[in-house]
Amino acid sequence: MSHQPVPHPPATLPPTPRAGGTDAAAAVALVLGVCGLLTGGLTSLVGIVVAHAKRRGTRSPRLSSAALVVCWLVTVFWVVLTVVYAVLPALGG
């Protein structure tokens, strides 16, 4: 009896990693946060929602975190500005 080699399945290559890049939603959230400086903070509120929605499982978690920070800073800036210039004078302060 001759021994025949047992056929092996063909070797498969591991999947190639995706090319590095930024997540579009994170970039949009960052742009919305910066635009919030011009829109009274309205677009930064939308940016907060977008950044939170895409924070997990994103290709660029640091960009999502940066977008959240920028959006929240712009929102706080406009809230403080509104309190200082609209609410305090109305209260006589």
Instruction: Answer whether residue 79 shows pLDDT above 60.
Output: yes
Query: Could you tell me the CA-to-CA distances from 33 to 57, 60, 61, 65, 83 in Å, in that order?
Result: 21, 17, 16, 12, 20
- The pLDDT score that the predictor gives to residue 15 is 65
Written as one string, the DSSP assignment of 21-59 is ---HHHHHHHHHHHHTTTTTTHHHHHHHHHHHHTSTT-S
Rounded Cα–Cα distance for residues 72 and 55 (Å): 15
pLDDT digits (tens, 9 = 90+) for 2-30: 677 777 776 776 666 555 567 888 999 99
Average pLDDT over residues 66-83: 94
- Phi, psi (rounded to 5 degrees) for 66: -65, -40
Share of the chain above pLDDT 70, in %: 84
pLDDT at 61 over 80: yes
Q: What is the pLDDT of residue 7?
A: 75
User: What is the DSSP code (8-state) at residue 89?
Assistant: H
| pTM for this predicted structure | 0.71
Say how many C-beta atoms besides its own lie within 10 A of residue 15's C-beta.
Answer: 6
